[in-house]
Structure 1
Amino acid sequence: MKQTLLLLFLIALLMPPQIAKAESGECRQRVNTEIGRELRLYRNVLFGKPRAENAPVGEVRYDTEGWAWIKTDAESLPWRNSVADQQGLEWSDTVMDEQDEHAESLPLVGIFETKRMTTSELIPYLLQSIRALECRAMSYCNIARASESFDKDDGAQDIGSVQLLGCIEFTDLESFPECHLGGETPLLLDQADGRGYCNEMVTQTIQRERELLKLVVEYDAGFRSLLQFAGNFDIFLKEMRWPLANTVRQAVELIGKLERIPCFVSSCDSSPAIKDE
């Protein structure tokens, strides 16, 4: 019995201390949530976001808690929660606008919805938008990195400001409690996992959005060029309608008057004579 207790005691000494700590998966999820919100805002800046009542059926929107809502064809409560355990929740258009994650900017007119401008005139605004997305996304990686030094049992802590190279300064920032890794033992593996994941995800996301933006710009340029050509051609037809019609009408009248002109050439008498019946 004593040998058994001694063996268990030695095993307990060899085992690492079990402490409650923030899992790297929770930190990843928090980073995904924040960057996903910024990505949706970026696309709303590009393509616009109408009020809930004008949204098409099947559109998905997110509330301030990060829950996804999909619009159905119901009349009174068209918005339904898409979370598996909360699919019974339904919202009206008014409630959806109030609880929308971008409620303060609704309705939002997108850059590509701008009229009477060529695509080349929109390029500066598009570049500014994709750069803003990159700055804001990378700032979340810095926030997650700054959160690692706080104790795991603490709530959100004030971390001051973050400024990246070529970006404006982000102030009044708070840490992510899910990324608090401070404790009695260093959690180097979780730190490396969180930092590597965030930087790599942001890099791949920005690269993908740049390629998509190139594709959209090419499509928009062709579409606007076609509209411009169609508009100019329509103006041309309107301007040429009456002059062309008047010219044809005058030509018809002129042909009708040609029979009054006497013929003084020999070919006029070469036609067969009209027989009297």
Structure 2
Amino acid sequence: MSLAAMAPILTGVLAAAAFVWWELRCDDPALDLRIFRSPRFNAVVIAGAASNMVQGGSMMMVTFYLVVVRTQSTWAFTLLLIPATLLSAVAALCAGRAAARYGNCAVIVAGLAVLAVSLLARLSFEIDTPISVVGAVIALTTLGGAIVQTPQATVMMSSAPINLGGVVSAVKASVGGTFYGLGSAFFSTFGILLFIDDAGPKLAGTGISARQAGDILGASGASPGGAGLDPERTRQVLSVASSSMLDAANTLNLMMTVIPLAAIAVALLLFRRERDASSACC
């Protein structure tokens, strides 16, 4: 990775470290870091980060699949997202009732498990997979995210003093937005790199290198012939390297599956630590 690409990342890391250093020493901090002393608070923050990262990455990938691999309009993704969004609203309401009955930890673990299943289901995608199946998998992803969100908000608000309610709300929104964006950026970058690695032999003889193909795919946000693209070269890439794109997507889906599974393990550990601490106090 070039220095130019690393510079913004390093700047962000240093800025975050400086912010934490200042907040720990400030008499009136903008973000009271005492809220992170609660294991259950940290558990749901991590679960929310994992959920948003998976959703950001998976939504980017399914858009890539529909628009680039299947050469469909972006409207296809929009139309598939409408019922998925409605389903997620219902799931969020049901998650609240389930949390009251079975506990917040159980519901968060269930939501993360649904996200993991939705990622594994994407391994079945082919160029001609029925659009109804694609829509069902998108709905499963949004369902998992919605299940996580409700108990996450409940635990975060109940874990902090009343006077820190605004801070907690800001943390939830910041974590969600940041990791959703990171998921999209991280997996789009790795998707192109994986495609370049796999597509070289398949593009031999076309006059297009794997890196040029990656540049075409990285620039394309629309169907072949979109603004700024050579339609003929784009069609060549799509016709020759469809299998490479699907292979890259499958690898990324497997990579992303690790995220909710790891978050499940961390959530179980931290919730158990909270219970043990409460038992010791009693």
Higher relative contact order (CA 8 A, sep 6+): 2
TM-score, normalisation: structure 2: 0.29
Higher helix share: 2
Higher strand share: 1
